[in-house]
Amino acid sequence: MTEPAGGVAPGRREELAASLAVVRSRIAGALRAAGREDEPTLVVVTKYFPASDVDLLADLGVTDVGENRDQEASAKALEITVRDRMRLHFIGQLQSNKAGSVARYADVVQSLDRPKVVHALARGAQAAGRVLDVTVQVSLDAVGGRGGVAVGEALDLADLVAGQDALRLRGVMAVAPLGADPRPAFARLRAVADEVRAAHPGATWMSAGMSGDLEAALAEGATHLRVGSAILGSRPPHR
């Protein structure tokens, strides 16, 4: 077993193992209910949690983690002792002035929603000598404010992404609207995902579903889940 980096609270591994088991049971139940036999990718959202938790998650079979803030994620990427066994997804709103930094450490960027950001990330990845897996973030919320391209503009942005040598279009991502039934929103995302995949057959990902709505997302075909609090617990204080 890999020894996690410094300062691990007693019993933390057992706590994470128990929470993971519950979430994996929920996923299995949702897949059965949807008549699915495929296995979605579980991305554990580790923002505000220490690198030692990432190391413990790797020991528990987790292969993907998600981060929202460049400053935290860039530092944490250097602290993770299992970096070679972990895919790091950047899932927060990406600003063009941070794209070059994100391109140096992220393996996946799920939150591309504007041409300016697409071009900035492509330049950053090319400068770093890397090819990044990316998804187009789609807005399902009429209020807005949480990022995402409009449903009707998603394919155009996907086309732009697909034309970048340093970016690999994988599919689409979205967050369900606050205070509403997530199922109809995820059904809209599924239609967008189908449209993008028809134009770009390799873009098979549909990243949707978090701690509170993963069942609805899986019912509508989600291939990637982004789960934080249900596994890691309440977020610790942060600056």
Q: Model confidence over 121-142: pLDDT tens digits?
A: 999 999 999 999 999 999 998 6
Angle between helical axes of 12-34 and 51-59 (0-180°, round to 10): 60
Q: What is the pLDDT of residue 144?
A: 62
Angle between helical axes of 70-79 and 51-59 (0-180°, round to 10): 60
pTM of the model as a whole: 0.94
Q: What does the pLDDT look like over 158-185, one tens digit per residue?
A: 999 999 999 999 999 999 999 889 999 9
Confidence band for 5, pLDDT divided at 50, 70 and 90: very low
CA pair distance 14, 171, nearest whole angstrom:
34
Q: What is the pLDDT of residue 2?
A: 39
Q: What does the pLDDT look like over 82-112, one tens digit per residue?
A: 999 999 999 999 999 999 999 999 999 999 9
CA pair distance 15, 18, nearest whole angstrom:
5
The two three-digit tokens of residue 50, written as one number? 């220490």
Residues 6 or more apart in contact with residue 158 via CB below 8 angstroms: 136, 169, 172, 196, 199, 200, 203
Contact 157, 217 (CB under 8 A): no
Q: What is the pLDDT of residue 3?
A: 41
CA pair distance 198, 154, nearest whole angstrom:
13
Q: What is the pLDDT of residue 238?
A: 62
pLDDT at 239 over 70: no
Q: What does the pLDDT look like over 11-49, one tens digit per residue?
A: 999 999 999 999 999 999 999 999 999 999 999 999 999
In the CATH hierarchy, which fold is given to the domain comprising 12-228? Answer: TIM Barrel (3.20.20)
Residue 104, judged by CB atoms within 10 A of its CB (0-12, 13-18, 19+), counts as middle
Q: What is the pLDDT of residue 209?
A: 96
Residues 6 or more apart in contact with residue 115 via CB below 8 angstroms: 157, 160
Q: What is the pLDDT of residue 51?
A: 96
Determine which helix (DSSP H) or strand (DSSP E) holds 218, and give its type and residue range: helix 214-219
The two three-digit tokens of residue 22, written as one number? 């519950």
Q: Is 48 helix (H, G, I), strand (E, B) or coil?
A: coil
**Average of pLDDT values for 50-78?**
97
CA pair distance 119, 128, nearest whole angstrom:
14
Confidence band for 8, pLDDT divided at 50, 70 and 90: confident
